[in-house]
Amino acid sequence: MIYLLYGNKDFGIYEEIKKITKNYDELSISKYDLNNAIMQDIISDAQTVSLFADKKIIIVDNANIFTALINKDTDILIEYLNQINPNTTLIFIVHNDKIDSRKKITKLIKKIGTIKEFNDDLNPLNIIKEKFKDYNIDQKTINLFLNRVGSNPLIIKNEIKKIKLYKNNDKTITENDIINITTKKIDIDIFKLIDYIIKKDKEKALELYEEMLKANEEPIKIIVILANQFRIMYQSKELLKKGYTEKDIASTLKIHPYRVKLAIQNSRNYSNKTLLKYLNNLADIDIGIKTGSLNKDNALELFILKN
């Protein structure tokens, strides 16, 4: 089977991929990024019999050959699509709100495979009402839920799942249920905090840090998140410099490829020396808190002020 999934709503695309891959073992799924990978390697993989199962899936991210921007590597794919391996499912992902329907390759996919668009807005209110359609919940309680968990569709679905598990057969959702069961959101962009720290914008960094504390976020947790992001940014830059692809980096660091992509994007304006400096400073703070030489409540504040 051949799939072409495109649109500006990544959440919808990845939800669809979950549905397609749900019955496959992880060892039977290969992932490529056309920003780095060679089409010939992908086709060779598609033609090869899996060592782990009868059937396998190949996911090809950033498949911009289906847009008007890129025209290379289509001939070899067209050749494969005219004689596909029936035991291989190919999933092409295009992070763009439109594809070029005039292209021969796009027309061929439409003829032999499935093309799905993911551009519709995922209205948080609609998701909540759909998920709670068999429950009694008033608008005031829905508003409270939105205020607490935010508008991220994935978080909304996870929090609703928690409520349903807790309520069991009770079909009435109250405000107390929302307060007692859901996790209050922290509407903070950690990369923005990193950006303020590196740019030495102490006022904005401290302001953002205060917002996180007001949201009852633990200082130690913030330090750990910051250090983890600095580490991924530093390691990704180092491995990229050595010729690793995003896929290779994700495999080496054992993290999701999307996290690598974000780390590389957010680290472009910062030198490895700067990233390593802050990573070491945060490690010292972590040790200081654990040994009792630093107060956890003002350690990160002092870090921001000193750097």
The domain segmentation of the chain, as residue ranges, is 2-117, 124-181, 190-306
Name the average pLDDT for the chain: 85
Query: What pLDDT score does 187 carry?
Result: 46
Q: Is the pLDDT of residue 153 over 90?
A: no
Give me the CATH code for the 2-117 domain, please. Answer: 3.40.50.300
Do the Cβ atoms of 195 and 226 come closer than 8 Å? no
Rounded distance, CA 211 to CA 220, Å? 15
Q: Is the pLDDT of residue 4 over 90?
A: yes
Rounded distance, CA 187 to CA 2, Å? 38
Query: What pLDDT score does 51 carry?
Result: 66
Q: Which of 26-30, 90-94, 140-144, 169-173 has the lowest mean pLDDT?
A: 26-30
Q: What's the predicted TM-score (pTM) here?
A: 0.44
Mean per-residue pLDDT, 209-225: 78
Using alpha carbons, select from 203, 198, 162, 208 the residue that is nearest to residue 181: 162
Rounded distance, CA 282 to CA 276, Å? 10
CATH topology for 190-306 is: Zinc Finger, Delta Prime; domain 3 (1.20.272)
Residue 214 DSSP one-character state: H
Query: What pLDDT score does 60 carry?
Result: 93
Rounded distance, CA 191 to CA 208, Å? 11
Residue 255 DSSP one-character state: S
Mean per-residue pLDDT, 148-153: 77
Q: Is the pLDDT of residue 69 over 90?
A: no
The pLDDT tens digits for 239-291 are 988 888 888 888 888 877 777 888 888 888 788 888 888 888 888 888 888 88
Distances (CA, A) of 97 to 68, 93, 271: 12, 11, 33
